[in-house]
Amino acid sequence: MQHINEQNQQTQRQVYGEILKGGFFLRQYVGEATTSDGKKFELAVTMKNNPMIIYGNNAYVLSWNDIYNMASEAGLFEEG
């Protein structure tokens, strides 16, 4: 049983950001983009300058702590 739990922990991925559903999001417009399958979305920053993506009535927001963790996992702070 322990072997299965170790495999599950290794296959789980870190989830970053937060999806906010429905509502009005106070933001500063940055630009627009389109997914490879044609869905248009807005790029923006929150009033605290966190990056966000707006799609329909939902938003995806990253915290600066999430960005730091992503940079660290990508190897930014490794020597060499």
The per-residue pLDDT for 4 is: 57
Tens-digit pLDDT profile for residues 39-78: 999 999 999 999 999 999 999 999 999 999 999 999 999 9
- Cβ burial, residue 58 (10 Å; 0-12/13-18/19+): middle
Look at residues 42, 48, 41 and name the one whose alpha carbon lies nearest to residue 67.
48
**3-class SS letters over 39-67:** CEEEEEEECCCCEEEEECCEEEECCHHHH
Q: Which long-range contacts (CB under 8 A, 24 or more apart) does 73-80 make?
A: 73/14
To the nearest whole number, what is the mean pLDDT of the chain? 89
- Per-residue pLDDT, averaged over 1-30, amounts to 79
pTM of the model: 0.75
